[in-house]
Structure 1
Amino acid sequence: MTPAELNQEWEAGKFRPVYYFYGEEDYRIKEAEKSLIKRFLPKSQLAVNHSILSGAKQSLSEVMSELAVFPMLGERQVFTITDIQSLDPDEIEKVLALLQPPDPNRVVIFTSPSEKIPKRNTKTFKLLAGKTGAVEFNRLSDVLSIKRIKTMLGEYQITIDDDAENILAMLADGNMGGLTEEINKLINFIGPGGKVAKENIAQICSNYQVFDIYELANTAARGEFDRALQIINFYLKEGERASGILFWLGDHFADLYLIKNRKPIAVWKQSRSMYIKALRTQAGFFENEDLEKILELLSDADIDLRNNIRPESMVLERLIFNICALAG
């Protein structure tokens, strides 16, 4: 079951007796848990009828004892059992058996943290996926990221430029918690009824440098030396070291070279769909031999910095000039 299908069931008033929430997005799992509790429990019972248990920190007998406690007549219950993967399959079977027959006034949520999800071919995962309402929470797609941006800003009548919207989605890279945090920062900065521009993303949002390095490569590819120099000088004035700028440039052009030659980039970057899409577009601006030459220029600049060539800004200026020259 997908998160969208889960929400449709809840909208229709349908709740399953047992859920298993897992996936790489812990923030989305927590939000889904909160949403279920608010939908299933009356307001008067929210504070007292939700219990959090732990498969890692409590024994099976303790978990079973908690689950066996019934509330007053007519009241509803929600139990969350975190780290359910810490129990072995026989123990999980015992928990599931205790929950039979299903009680319409009780919902139990099993969860696993992203770093401890059991492998799909294990007995534990097959058991959890087969005998519960299992829902996988992955990173937001590009479409869902943009939808969330529009929805959250729309609540404060804040509009956003298309460029700013795309940059924000790319920086968040499908991380719902990170995206939500950045949107809230923009809401507080812009205020109700305002408008978010690209410049505001640069002012407020974390990791904007990732995009600016992309923009720097774009301006160099077009031979816009003055604009490329402005970006570099901005970071130098902000206290960024020349070696840091060089590192980001080297990492970026290495990715461009790999994408151009249809080779895999670092594993941790491969899920960043908007970043990969942007890289593919940018790689088309360069010939393969140009990228090879740029990597040589970056290596030369690194040697110059290590040899204490001063001023460091001159090393970067010469590097950008030579990259821009390739575009001419």
Structure 2
Amino acid sequence: MAKKSDSYEQILDKLKRKEYAPVYYFMGEEPYYIDLLADYIEENVLDEMEKSFNQTVLYGKDTDIRTVINAAKRFPMGSQYQVVIVKEAQQLKAIDELTFYLQKPLASTILVFCHKYGTLDKRKKVTSEIEKNGVLFVSEKLRDYQIPPWIVKYLADRKVKISEKAALMLTEFLGTDLSKVANELDKLLITKPASEPTITPELIEKNIGISKDFNNFELQSAIIAGDVLKVNRIARYFADNPKNNPIIVTLSVLFNFFSNLMVYHYLQDKSQANVARELGVNPYFVKDFQAAAKRFSAAKTLRIIAWLRECDARSKGIENVSTDAGDLLKELVYKMLH
């Protein structure tokens, strides 16, 4: 039987080997892995004929815990197992009443809960019973710095490579929603020429619409390098294309970087490993903070953070009635670089 510490890959591997637990509780802020595991169980444990009599899908908002328990207590018809899947389990009331069933779950039932955007209270008895007699899996939201390596692995599993810049472009444009990222990667795999083994910035620009030269990643890199010409070109491009380059996203990216840079300035141990750990970033990005620290002192970094806050407020109309987002950004980057 799987243990509570099993990863997504370990759980999936055991499912593929038909090593089933009587209860699965998938929960967490990242719905992507919850859906993948539940979909695998729904599609693969029973054959099509068995599903007709032995597979039940319930929804937390439309059912109650007694209905779930009663369904779980039924015996399968003409099959070794029956499958009961509870989607939207976060909306299920009185989940504590499941405790008694969990103490002696029916071996012929595979009971699956999909609890998204939250978790069970680990202090509750129902949680410890799931851990004891079933599989409790927490699907945690990935942080920004974890997305590029996730993209690399996702494509590597499909025998495709991606350039470092291309992975960073996708991360900056798509964020941390794994379902959204995976969907866009699948589109790229379909449109990628068969003769091209690597996904490049050019391919992304052509098929997703992200400019390989004018994006927040390039703007941040140009600011770190002190490349005034490139910074101004990107700022003008953003000003001319505000719909595709909202200033709120740009300010968020820059605020996150310079907030981390301020922390970097005051770290005693500036080794790559310690910086990556303290800032919660991929070790690859430590060089950006090393370079930025040489260009922007702690005092200047503090002023930049203040300017970013001021620009954010003005972009929302606070103490500003006429200056548009494009001009606000141009003014901001001028102050940052001079």
Residue deviations 1:216-263, cap 9 Å, x none?
122123222222222222222324499x53x44543443333212329
Whether the 8 Å CA contact 2:60–2:86 is kept in 1: the answer is yes
Which whole-Å CA distance do the structure 2 matches of 1:315 and 1:4 have between them? 47
Amino acid at match of 2:337: C
The Cα shift of 1:280 comes to 5.2
RMSD: 3.8
Instruction: Please state if 1:226 is matched with 2:229.
Output: yes
Q: Corresponding residue for 1:261?
A: 262
- SS of the residue corresponding to residue 134 of structure 1 reads strand
Aligned ranges for residues 129-278 of structure 1 at < 5 Å?
129-139=131-141, 141-142=146-147, 143-152=149-158, 154=159, 159-169=161-171, 172=174, 174-194=176-196, 195-202=198-205, 204-205=207-208, 212-240=215-243, 244-245=246-247, 247-262=248-263
Instruction: Please state if 1:108 is matched with 2:111.
Output: yes
Q: Corresponding residue for 2:337?
A: 324
Q: Corresponding residue for 1:15?
A: 20
The Cα shift of 1:92 comes to 0.5
Whether the 8 Å CA contact 2:50–2:79 is kept in 1: the answer is no
Whether the 8 Å CA contact 1:78–1:107 is kept in 2: the answer is yes
Q: Corresponding residue for 1:121?
A: 123
The Cα shift of 1:132 comes to 1.7
Residue 207 to residue 255, structure 1, CA distance change in 2 (3 Å): farther
Q: Corresponding residue for 1:266?
A: none
The Cα shift of 1:81 comes to 2.6
Whether the 8 Å CA contact 1:221–1:324 is kept in 2: the answer is no
Aligned ranges for residues 22-101 of structure 1 at < 5 Å?
22-46=27-51, 49-74=54-79, 76-82=81-87, 83=89, 86-89=93-96, 91-96=97-102, 99-100=105-106
Whether the 8 Å CA contact 1:146–1:169 is kept in 2: the answer is no
Residue deviations 1:24-55, cap 9 Å, x none?
22221111012123332234434553211245
Which whole-Å CA distance do the structure 2 matches of 1:297 and 1:54 have between them? 48
TM-score, normalised on structure 1?
Answer: 0.74
Residue deviations 1:142-185, cap 9 Å, x none?
54442113334x3xxx5432321343356555532122111123
The Cα shift of 1:23 comes to 1.8
- SS of the residue corresponding to residue 109 of structure 1 reads strand
Which whole-Å CA distance do the structure 1 matches of 2:140 and 2:180 have between them? 14
Work out the percentage of aligned pairs sharing the same amino acid. 15
Which whole-Å CA distance do the structure 2 matches of 1:179 and 1:118 have between them? 27
- SS of the residue corresponding to residue 306 of structure 1 reads coil
2:320 to 290, 299, 306: 306
The Cα shift of 1:202 comes to 4.5
Amino acid at match of 2:189: I
Gaps of 5+ in 2: 1-5, 265-276
Whether the 8 Å CA contact 2:236–2:330 is kept in 1: the answer is no
Which whole-Å CA distance do the structure 2 matches of 1:191 and 1:124 have between them? 51
Which whole-Å CA distance do the structure 1 matches of 2:328 and 2:28 have between them? 45
Q: Corresponding residue for 2:272?
A: none
Whether the 8 Å CA contact 2:24–2:135 is kept in 1: the answer is yes
Whether the 8 Å CA contact 2:169–2:217 is kept in 1: the answer is no
